[in-house]
Amino acid sequence: MTRPVPWIPSVLYGAVLLGGLYYAAIGPGPGVRSAGFAGLLCALTVLDAREWPVASGAVFAPGAVFALRAVLLGAVAALDPSGLSRVLFVLLPFLAFFVWGRTVSVVLGAGCVAALAGVFTVRVPHWEVRAEYISDLLMFALGVVLAIAMAAVAVREQQARARLEGTLAQVAELSAARERNRLARDIHDSLGHHLTAIGIQLEKAEAFASLDAAGSAQAVAHARWSANRALDEVRASVRTLGPEAESGPAGLGRALTDLVHHLDGGSGRITLEVSGTERRPLLVLYRAAQEGLTNACRHSGATQIHVDVAYEEQGAVLRVADNGGGLGTAEEGFGLAGLRERLRLAGGSVELRSSATGTVLTVRVPW
């Protein structure tokens, strides 16, 4: 595990080095022991400054580095007449926490406290009745506890940061997927509809080319309108490239009238009825009309298609009904799935009823 707080050992080494040199300056004076003391602290600083690679499935590398650190700390303590370097031993349980976890750290901390008590027993007769040594032991034990607690907090923070990074990565992935789905819906609902309309009008123009030149020309004109409309919607999507707006074409009733007129081509097969007062245009309602009309014209074989829009107190209701052959055993395609998703995001609902005598698509959108 990467150590989250690599600066703590260096700070302790620096403090002990300054304290030891100051003690030597006011006491016995600098000498070989002081030079060795300073050199070993510098070696410890270098040892803790770099990241040591860990072999896969092995603990030798961290164990060897940890053992070398313990030996160097012992040598520092032997060359330090001031006794300040004993505080460095709190680093052993602190650093062990990042390598082997809480249990090893606590055991090692207890061992360090016991080792200091053993040193006092060997070197200081009757130390257990001398307040200064009791105080030193208690302060060292408190330092071990604080070091272990700090390591635990640092590990939890590192784990929380890793979880947060994972969550952010998932959010970014979901956002990208949502944007892809939105673009797919836009392509299907806009370009798909207009391409279908163009195909229908061109088929009509081809069928009536030798029988009704005026009707054929009108069908070509409607196909051209659908192509221009598709181009306008593509340009609008490229300009925004953002979340889909809640508002649709200005004047939804006029937009639906225009849509029905060009898709029907004057044949009278498609009729439109609008009732109530429009409060604000709804793009999702326009897309629902596109989807319903595209399916009815392309797949149902209907001879009559009726579009009804009712602006009610709670919201708007759109119904697209045809007298075609129904869906039969066919499954819902991407268009209806995308429409359901649009309605879910808008807080609305979609209902599809199909039989051998026709299909009715009902969409409700709250204000």
Phi and psi at residue 365, in whole multiples of 5°?
A: -130, 120
> What's the mean pLDDT in 29-57?
73
Q: Report whether pLDDT(43) > 80.
A: yes
More confident residue, 265 or 8: 8
Mean pLDDT of 74-90: 86
Whether residue 59 is predicted with pLDDT greater than 50 in this model: the reply is: no
More confident residue, 59 or 218: 218
CATH number at residue 229: 3.30.565.10
Is the residue at 2 inside a domain? no
Average pLDDT over residues 340-346: 82
Q: Flag whether pLDDT at 138 surpasses 90.
A: yes
pLDDT at 49: 74
The token duo for 241 is 């490239």
- The answer on 162 and 201 residing in a single domain is no
Long-range pairs of 138-141 with CB within 8 A, sequence gap ≥ 24: 140/86, 140/87, 140/89, 140/90, 140/112, 140/113, 140/116, 141/113
Q: Are residues 36 and 130 in the same domain?
A: yes
Domain assignment present for residue 254? The answer is yes
On whether residue 84 sits in a domain, the answer given is: yes
Average pLDDT, the chain: 79
Residue ending a domain, choose from 140, 169, 198 = 169
Question: 318 and 243 in one domain?
Answer: yes
More confident position, 249 or 336: 336
Domain that holds residue 14: 7-169
Report pLDDT for 17.
86
Please give the DSSP secondary-structure letter assigned to residue 249.
S
Angle in degrees, CA 348, 341, 180, rounded to 5: 145
Q: Are residues 224 and 146 in the same domain?
A: no
Looking at the structure, tell me whether residues 145 and 205 fall in a common domain: no
Same-domain status, 147 and 186: no
Domain boundary among 113, 136, 169: 169
pLDDT, tens only, 220-262: 877 777 777 777 666 655 544 443 444 445 567 777 887 787 7
The answer on 117 and 39 residing in a single domain is: yes
151 inside domain = yes
Q: Verify that 236 and 115 share a domain, yes or no.
A: no
When mean pLDDT is compared across 118-122, 131-135, 185-189, the lowest value belongs to 185-189
- Higher model confidence: residue 265 or residue 68? 68
pLDDT for 149: 92
Domain count, the chain: 2
- Residue-wise pLDDT tens digits, 269-325: 888 888 888 877 677 888 888 888 877 877 677 888 899 988 888 888 999 998 887
277-to-191, 193, 253 alpha-carbon distances in Å: 30, 27, 10
Residue 1, domain member (yes or no): no
| Residue that terminates a domain, selected from 169, 192, 215 | 169
Q: Is the pLDDT of residue 146 over 90?
A: yes
- Is the pLDDT at 54 greater than 50, yes or no? no
Asked if residue 205 and residue 143 are part of one domain, the reply reads no
**266 pLDDT higher than 50:** yes
The per-residue pLDDT for 110 is: 94
Specify whether 159 is located in the same domain as 233. no
Does residue 144 lie within any of the structural domains? Answer: yes
The answer to whether position 267 is within a domain reads yes
Q: pLDDT digits over 97-132, tens only?
A: 988 889 999 999 999 999 989 988 998 888 888 998
Q: What Cα–Cα distance (Å) separates residue 153 from each residue in 53, 97, 160, 282?
A: 24, 11, 10, 52
* CA quadruple 106, 111, 112, 114: dihedral, nearest 10: 130
Is a pLDDT exceeding 80 seen at residue 327?
no
pLDDT at 29 over 70: no
Same domain? For 261 and 353 the reply is yes
42 lies in a domain? yes
> What's the pLDDT score for residue 247?
45
| pLDDT value of residue 240 | 43
pTM above 0.85, yes or no: no
State residue 225's pLDDT score: 78
153 and 99 in a common domain: yes
